Amino acid sequence: MTETSRLWPCAIQGLIAAGGLLLWFVVTQSGEVSPLFLPAPDAVVNAWVALVRSDEFWPAVGVTLTTIAAAYILAAVAGLLTGWLITRSPLLTRAFEPLVSGIFAIPITLFFPLFILLFGIGQESKLAYGAVYGFFPVALNTIAGFAHVDRRLVDAARCMGLSRFGLFRHVLLPAASPVIFTGLRVGFFICFASVLGGEAIASAAGIGHNIALSAELFEPARMYAWIVCVVAAALVLTALVSTIERRFRDS
Amino acid sequence: MAAISVRAVSHSFGLPGKQNRIAALKNVSFDVAPGEFVTILGPSGCGKSTLLNMVGGLLSPSEGAVQVDGTPVLQPLPERIAYVFQESTLFPWYTVEENFAILLRCRDVPRSEWRTRTLAALTSVGMQDFAGHYPKQLSVGMRQRINLARGIASDTDILLMDEPFAALDEQSRMVLGEDLSALLGRTGKTILFVTHSLAEAVFLSDRILVLSARPGRVKATVAVNEPHPRPPDFMLTSDFSELRNQCYALLRDEIRLAMAEAVA
Amino acid sequence: MSGPAAGTIAELAPARRRVAAGWLHGSAALRWGTLITIAVLWEVAARWSGNNGLVAPPTAILRALVTQILPDGQIRAALIVAVVEITAAYAIAVAGGFLIGVAVGWTRLGRNSLFPIVLFFYAIPQVAFLPLFVLGFGIGPAAKIAFGCSHGIFPVIVNTIAGMRNINPQYVSAARCMGISRAGIVRHVIFPHITGSFFAGLRLSMTMTMLGVILAELYVSTAGIGYFTRQFADTFDPAPLFALISVLTAIAIAMNAMVRLAERHWLRWKG
């Protein structure tokens, strides 16, 4: 690709970002849009500064992040184990792979009221809900990864006399790991979104709860300030995860 | 004693009594003497690869038995049999050298010898400069050369080869075929080779088993009495074209049968 | 072919594929057997523990379904509204996503400059904006349709673009040489070519649309499904809650099945 053809996309992206910001300014200044729905950019910036300095900011962030971390660890461990165990036999794979993928095609949010019923309004229900939702992509991709290793490579390894462990270490794991990593990544972002969503729908703490609360109290600038935090966190995490993934792929 | 002995082998895929059950092989018997190069020639879908998988211990026949050096084959026998597959089975996540390392580790070769053994094997196929490459960085032909070298580096008496040159263009096939003939003249391995190329079969083999259309039976055996290593000029002789024509005459009806069945 | 799934350790056992193949046909039986066993164990455990736990046994759920959920006109209305919302959101997401996808994916410049922006929005957890949708669109169906659509549209856009990226330019050149119009190229070359990727997007889009609508339904607890789930949860009445969720699950399964049927119908040519 030439220098100019790489420049154009950047220029267009910059223009769109600048245009979006400009539009935000103009629309809020004109008074066409209710400030309840869209406050002015400077109001959001002020609210954000006030929010980060307030006493409730870090505890709320801490609660949400701990819940996400705990939910994700549960989801990842359970998903990897389940996927591994199911692919130990072609029969189990055929029996349960459609079940896992079928359940994952249902929005598991449907079951959220059950989690509230069983675990209460506290963080436990969000933890369980995030863990269950995140479990499915990890399990599905672990199954897909191990069940669809190129048959010929396995045959070749057997003909060379690789031990069971050697087959796992040198063939199955490297062949399956890209697919499994995808599952782990998708699972993480599903945990992240599920915990936030759960907090927004029914909870007493956390970032999602604060977004919903700001909306209920008609404090749009504060709500936007929280949203900015979530968007920033999502972008940082996306970048982090793809860096980790690239590092793994290279080694 | 025969190096490989196939006795009354029949095989079907699918469940007994089901509509989709396919009879792949029917009552196939043959022996391969130590040091002999035997080619299985047949129309596509006649069960050539199935037969090779059975000798390799990857598949048990529905009926009959396969023996190697007098012992029945029930699973892959890495110390006795090396298998070169149709397409490169180099592990894509390892470099060429690491691929050899796995094999040599399985062969219990001391670590200090790995590098020399690997380079020797690569040199024999002219690929010594590519030890540090990943398979994806090489062309199909280069990959298959290395795949072949890996099979030979297994240092087993018996080598099974399932259309090892199928993915190559005709020119590369010729050159690799010559290399193989020269290489085998030196090592004296027992080889069971599967192909659907008539020229390849005649050029390389001591004996050709012509298989019928599905279900595969041994239709005829054609002997090629020409010592190894065979010079490229062998392909220009009248003996060569006569044998080639003989094989084609045996195969022609079977190919038509196989094609008709493939459409139906 | 009925070859076993490739490459599992279990197949290391000495060449036993023939025997394994016979068992594979029992996979559906094993799946349903496991599900039925779980239901039976669930029932037995609930009865044994005196039936006062928060997990309603299957028979109690069935009873609640027949006596409480289905006869209730208000719940029926809420369910129908939810189905309408999902359908509307899905229709907008598919049509809009396809158009945006084609527009962005048409040129290389579009793909390089606009696709990253699409991915940027896709990476943001939209649930953070849920209260905003309710502020903007009110607590009625509009907010739920909009939120469902905001979830469902991205898989369609992304998969449309992904499909367009893989188009063999020779087909487009051939169509141009035959004098086919731009719309004709979309209809006869691009659309058939991207169908595989596009339908994968449609399937995911259905799940995401339902997710968005249900999230919004649950968030708005003063009306619709969210009202009833909140009622049952607050009064610790598990049986009707389980029953209501079972109905919603059945609806979700049915809507997924419809997408798959459509896919099978349109992709016949792929064999």
Cα A228 to Cα B100: distance, rounded to the nearest angstrom = 53
pLDDT at C51: 55
pLDDT at C15: 39
Q: What percent of chain A has pLDDT over 70?
A: 97
What CATH number is attached to the domain comprising B17? 3.40.50.300
Strands of the sheet containing B190-195, edge to edge, are B81-84, B158-162, B190-195, B37-41, B207-211, B218-223
Could you tell me which residue, A33 or B119, shows the higher pLDDT?
B119
Q: Residue C172 in contact with residue C189, Cβ under 8 Å?
A: yes
The answer to the question of residue A14 being in a domain is no
* pLDDT at C54 > cutoff 70: yes
User: How confident is the model over B165-194, as pLDDT tens digits?
Assistant: 887 777 878 888 887 887 777 778 899 999
User: How confident is the model over A88-100, as pLDDT tens digits?
Assistant: 888 899 889 999 9
The predicted model gives C77-88 an average pLDDT of 94
pLDDT at C17: 44
C113·A117 Cβ contact <8 A: no
pLDDT band at B227 (very low <50, low <70, confident <90, very high): confident
Residue C225, CB-side half-sphere exposure with 13 Å CA sphere: 30
pLDDT band at B30 (very low <50, low <70, confident <90, very high): very high
CB-based contact (8 Å) between B146 and chain C? no
Q: What percent of chain B has pLDDT over 90?
A: 22
Write the single-letter amino acid at A14.
Answer: G
The answer to the question of residue B163 being in a domain is no
> Which of C8, C54, C130 is nearest residue A200 as measured by Cβ atoms?
C130
pLDDT band at C258 (very low <50, low <70, confident <90, very high): very high
pLDDT at A227: 92
The predicted model gives B220-230 an average pLDDT of 86
Residue C33 is given by DSSP the state H
CB-based contact (8 Å) between B23 and chain C? no
**Chain B residue with Cα closest to C17:** B59
Could you tell me which residue, A189 or C174, shows the higher pLDDT?
A189
B72 in the same domain as B113: no
The B residues from 182 to 221 touching A (CB cutoff 8 Å) are none
pLDDT at C20: 47
Chain C residues with CB under 8 Å of A95 CB are 27-28, 30-31, 34
Longest CA pairwise span in chain C (Å):
77
pLDDT at A145: 93
Chain C residues with CB under 8 Å of A212 CB are 130-131, 219
The A residues from 26 to 65 touching C (CB cutoff 8 Å) are 36-37
The predicted model gives C70-93 an average pLDDT of 93
Residue B256 sits at the vertex; the CA angle it makes with B254 and B258, to the nearest 5 degrees, is 70
Domain that holds residue A179: 47-250
Cα C253 to Cα A99: distance, rounded to the nearest angstrom = 12
Q: Give residue ranges of A with CB < 8 Å to any B CB.
A: 152-153, 155-162, 166, 170-171, 174-175
**Mean pLDDT across chain B:** 86
Chain C residues with CB under 8 Å of B58 CB are 15
pLDDT at C11: 35
Residue that has been written with the tokens 């006399």 in this structure = A161
The answer to the question of residue A210 being in a domain is yes
Cα A123 to Cα A119: distance, rounded to the nearest angstrom = 9
Chain A residues with CB under 8 Å of B86 CB are 152
**Mean pLDDT across chain A:** 89
Choosing from B102, B121, B155, the residue where a domain stops is: B155
Chain B closest-CA separation from residue A156 CA (Å): 6
CB pairs under 8 A between A and C: 193
- Contacts of C194 by beta carbon, 8 Å cutoff, 6+ apart: C159, C160, C163, C164, C166, C167
- Selection from C116, C203, C131, C123 nearest residue C161 by Cα: C116
> Which of C26, C109, C135 is nearest residue A9 as measured by Cβ atoms?
C109
pLDDT at C50: 64
* pLDDT at C263 > cutoff 80: yes
CB-based contact (8 Å) between B20 and chain C? yes
Task: List, as one string, the DSSP characters of C117-136.
Answer: HHHHHHHS-GGGGHHHHHHH
Could you tell me which residue, B263 or A136, shows the higher pLDDT?
A136
The answer to the question of residue A26 being in a domain is no
pLDDT at A63: 94
User: How confident is the model over B228-239, as pLDDT tens digits?
Assistant: 788 888 888 999
* pLDDT at A17 > cutoff 70: yes
The answer to the question of residue B168 being in a domain is no
**Mean pLDDT across chain C:** 82
What CATH number is attached to the domain comprising A70? 1.10.3720.10
User: How confident is the model over B33-48, as pLDDT tens digits?
Assistant: 998 999 999 887 788 8
Cα B261 to Cα B230: distance, rounded to the nearest angstrom = 37
The answer to the question of residue B217 being in a domain is yes
Chain B residues with CB under 8 Å of A156 CB are 83, 85, 89
Chain B residues with CB under 8 Å of A171 CB are 91
Angle, helices C108-123/C141-165, rounded to nearest 10 degrees: 140
Name residue B166's beta-bridge partners.
Answer: none
pLDDT at B179: 79
pLDDT at B264: 59
The predicted model gives A210-214 an average pLDDT of 91
Interface test with A, best of B93, B103, B150, B162 (most A CBs within 10 A): B93
User: How confident is the model over B42-100, as pLDDT tens digits?
Assistant: 887 788 888 999 998 888 888 889 999 888 988 888 888 898 888 788 888 889 999 99
Chain A residues with CB under 8 Å of C206 CB are 105
Could you tell me which residue, C123 or A128, shows the higher pLDDT?
A128
Least reliable range by pLDDT among A205-209, C8-12, C217-221:
C8-12
The predicted model gives B210-236 an average pLDDT of 86
Domain that holds residue B259: 1-80+176-264
Q: How distant, in Å, are the alpha carbons of A223, B22, C221, C229 from that of A198?
A: 17, 54, 13, 14
Chain A residues with CB under 8 Å of B53 CB are 155
Chain B residues with CB under 8 Å of C1 CB are 13
Q: Would you tell me which CATH number, out of the four given (3.40.50.300, 1.10.579.10, 3.30.9.40, 1.10.3720.10), belongs to the domain C67-270?
A: 1.10.3720.10
* pLDDT at C207 > cutoff 90: yes
The answer to the question of residue B171 being in a domain is no
pLDDT at C146: 95
The A residues from 186 to 205 touching C (CB cutoff 8 Å) are 189, 192-193, 196-197, 200-202
The pairing of beta strand B4-13 with beta strand B22-32: antiparallel
Residue that has been written with the tokens 């690929």 in this structure = B127
pLDDT band at A176 (very low <50, low <70, confident <90, very high): very high
pLDDT at C6: 35
The predicted model gives A113-125 an average pLDDT of 90
Could you tell me which residue, A7 or A208, shows the higher pLDDT?
A208
The total of structural domains in chain B comes to 2
> Which of B79, B81, B89 is nearest residue A156 as measured by Cβ atoms?
B89
User: How confident is the model over C9-52, as pLDDT tens digits?
Assistant: 333 333 344 444 444 457 888 888 999 999 999 888 887 776 56
pLDDT band at C3 (very low <50, low <70, confident <90, very high): very low
The predicted model gives B143-156 an average pLDDT of 87
Q: Residue A166 in contact with residue B106, Cβ under 8 Å?
A: yes
Could you tell me which residue, C270 or B24, shows the higher pLDDT?
B24
Give me Rg for the CA atoms of chain B. Answer: 19
Complex ipTM value: 0.86
pLDDT at A251: 59
The total of structural domains in chain A comes to 1
* pLDDT at C169 > cutoff 80: no
- Chain CA centroid to CA C151, Å: 11
B261 in the same domain as B187: yes
> Which of B20, B62, B75 is nearest residue C18 as measured by Cβ atoms?
B62
* pLDDT at A238 > cutoff 70: yes
Count other C-beta atoms under 10 Å from residue B184's C-beta: 20
Question: Neighbouring chains of B at 3+ CB pairs within 8 Å?
Answer: A, C
B113 in the same domain as B69: no
The answer to the question of residue A64 being in a domain is yes
Interface test with B, best of C1, C11, C17, C18 (most B CBs within 10 A): C18
* pLDDT at A4 > cutoff 70: no
User: How confident is the model over B198-207, as pLDDT tens digits?
Assistant: 888 999 899 9
pLDDT at C4: 34
CB pairs under 8 A between A and B: 52
C135·A37 Cβ contact <8 A: yes
The answer to the question of residue A17 being in a domain is no
The predicted model gives A165-181 an average pLDDT of 90
**Chain C residue with Cα closest to B14:** C2
* pLDDT at C213 > cutoff 90: yes
pLDDT at A76: 96
Cα A66 to Cα A78: distance, rounded to the nearest angstrom = 18
